[in-house]
């Protein structure tokens, strides 16, 4: 009896350390698996910008008095300041579980403030904030605030080839708050339906009206195409906004990519339409060059920024050099506004319809 007891005791003393080792390994693996689902990413960016034929200052002392000017810049967002300027710091926290997860996307700096311009000052660092639940591989629900599904470009400079943005993107929308359902019909076709607050009201709905969004997408190994729709009243008036947008891009060869964005937005005669192509050539693993050629026109019944029935052509040539997480982007941009509309101011404070500008941006993405 004693020998049996001793034998059991010996087995216990021998196996217990192995049990502790196995348990510790499993716990460590479980903790590692949990931590691997939590992600932190983002970017920081800054730039230098100058005009060749436009005003490059915002203040001047004349006779002891300070005069303020609006430096000549296109009516687009995110890269309009003269001299050395900052963009934004972007920190994105995400958690992806088996069925559910969240994204908290925070922005700090002028570029971020432009993107969340309708948020209250106390909360204008929130670019995106949403939670989602995957019912299955074919259906996912998202509730919260997310960046717009319309257009070719995005707010983050790390995700765009050109550093400055197009007229179509800058005229909006930027963000939506609501609930959406994403559908995966098969490995190529996707869809989305959404009910949202008025555009860019990111925190809550101040007017009690809602917008509807829809998207149909197709993608394969060479590229993708998305047809986007937005409809709904955006203010206390009964005028509803309607926007249809096509975004597509394809790898035509191993080194040549061609993108296209065309959009039309109308709110009872006030709105715009336009089209832009994005040819991009990869010259090496670290350097590429791309052009954005855009035509943009305000509707005849009413303009948003320029006069009604005013058109704009803009050509933006951008180089992109990447080493590790650092991206350097030199950029030459030419803007022309139709009908001699005085959209810009030259160095002598005279109105002009043309502007040539240059910038170089540094972006670090992590």
- What confidence tier does 61 reach under pLDDT thresholds 50, 70, 90? low
For residue 257, what are its two tokens? Answer: 């990519």
pLDDT in tens, 265-292: 999 888 999 999 999 999 999 999 999 9
| Mean pLDDT of all residues in 101-117 | 91
121-129's contacts with Cβ under 8 Å and 24+ in sequence apart are 123/202, 123/203, 126/202, 127/90, 127/155, 127/175, 128/92, 128/103, 128/104, 128/175, 129/103, 129/104, 129/105
The pLDDT value given to residue 86: 96
| Mean pLDDT of all residues in 56-70 | 70
| Mean pLDDT of all residues in 329-345 | 88
pLDDT in tens, 128-137: 999 999 999 9
At residue 316's C-alpha, the angle toward residues 311 and 318, to 5°, is 165
Tell me the longest C-alpha to C-alpha distance in the chain. 110
The pLDDT value given to residue 34: 54
Q: Which residues contact 13 (CB under 8 A, 6 or more apart)?
A: none
The pLDDT value given to residue 16: 43
The pLDDT value given to residue 306: 77
Query: Residue 340 burial (CB < 10 Å; 0-12/13-18/19+)?
Result: exposed
The pLDDT value given to residue 233: 92
The pLDDT value given to residue 301: 74
Contact assessment for residue 45 and residue 114, using Cβ atoms and an 8 Å cutoff:
no
Per-position DSSP letters for 65-119, written without gaps between them: EEEE------S-SS---SEEEEEEEEEEEEEE-SSEEEEEEEEESHHHHHHTTTS
pLDDT in tens, 119-165: 766 667 999 999 999 999 999 999 999 999 999 999 999 999 999 99
The mean of the pLDDT values for the chain is 87
| Mean pLDDT of all residues in 94-109 | 95
Q: Is 214 left (phi over 0), alpha (psi -120 to 50) or beta?
A: beta
- Strand 126-136 relative to strand 100-108: parallel, antiparallel, unpaired? antiparallel
Q: Which residues contact 150 (CB under 8 A, 6 or more apart)?
A: 173, 228, 230, 243, 245, 247, 263
| Secondary structure element (H or E) that encloses residue 311, with its range | strand 311-323
CATH of 38-365, one of 2.40.160.10, 1.10.10.10, 3.40.449.10, 2.50.20.10: 2.40.160.10
φ, ψ (nearest 5 deg) of residue 73 = -160, 155
Per-position DSSP letters for 312-323, written without gaps between them: EEEEEEEEEEEE
pLDDT in tens, 301-327: 777 777 777 899 999 999 999 999 999
Length of the chain: 366
- What confidence tier does 29 reach under pLDDT thresholds 50, 70, 90? low
360: nearest Cα among 163, 167, 159: 163
The pLDDT value given to residue 6: 40
% the chain with pLDDT above 70: 86
Residue 172 above 50 pLDDT? yes
* Measured CA distances, 257 to 227, 248, 260, 300, 318 (Å): 20, 11, 10, 34, 14
- What confidence tier does 92 reach under pLDDT thresholds 50, 70, 90? very high
List 19's β-bridge partners, or say none: none
pLDDT in tens, 199-246: 888 888 989 999 999 999 999 999 999 999 999 998 878 789 999 999
Is the peptide bond preceding residue 94 cis, with omega within 30 degrees of 0?
Answer: no
């Amino acid at each position: 009896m004693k020998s049996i007891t001793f034998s059991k005791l010996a087995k216990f003393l021998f196996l217990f350390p192995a049990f502790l080792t196995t348990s510790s390994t499993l716990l460590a693996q479980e903790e590692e698996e949990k931590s691997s689902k939590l992600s932190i990413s983002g970017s920081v960016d800054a730039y230098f910008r100058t005009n060749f034929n436009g005003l490059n200052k915002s203040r001047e002392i004349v006779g002891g008095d300070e005069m303020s000017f609006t430096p000549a810049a296109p009516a687009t967002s995110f890269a309009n300041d003269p001299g050395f300027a900052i963009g934004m710091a972007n920190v994105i926290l995400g958690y992806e579980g088996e069925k559910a997860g969240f994204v908290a996307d925070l922005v700090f700096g002028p570029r971020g403030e432009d993107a969340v311009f309708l948020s209250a000052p106390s909360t204008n660092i929130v670019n995106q904030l949403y939670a989602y639940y995957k019912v299955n591989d074919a259906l996912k629900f998202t509730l919260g605030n997310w960046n717009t599904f319309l257009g070719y470009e995005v707010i983050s400079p790390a995700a765009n080839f050109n550093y400055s943005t197009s007229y179509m993107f800058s005229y909006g929308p930027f963000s939506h708050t609501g609930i959406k359902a994403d559908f995966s019909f098969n490995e190529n076709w996707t869809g989305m339906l959404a009910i949202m607050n008025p555009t860019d009201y990111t925190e809550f709905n101040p007017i009690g009206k809602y917008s509807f969004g829809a998207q149909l997408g197709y993608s394969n190994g060479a590229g993708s195409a998305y047809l986007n729709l937005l409809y709904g009243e955006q203010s206390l008036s009964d005028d509803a906004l309607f926007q249809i947008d096509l975004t597509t891009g394809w790898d035509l060869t191993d080194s040549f990519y061609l993108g296209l964005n065309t959009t039309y937005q109308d709110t009872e005669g006030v709105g715009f339409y336009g089209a832009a192509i994005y040819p991009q050539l990869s010259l090496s693993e670290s350097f590429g060059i791309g052009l954005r050629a855009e035509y943009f026109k305000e509707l005849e019944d009413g303009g948003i920024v320029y006069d009604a029935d005013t058109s704009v052509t803009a050509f933006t040539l951008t180089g992109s050099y990447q080493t590790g997480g650092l991206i350097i982007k030199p950029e030459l941009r030419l803007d022309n506004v139709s009908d001699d509309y005085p959209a810009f101011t030259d160095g002598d404070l005279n109105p002009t319809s043309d502007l040539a500008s240059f910038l170089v941006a540094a972006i670090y993405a992590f």
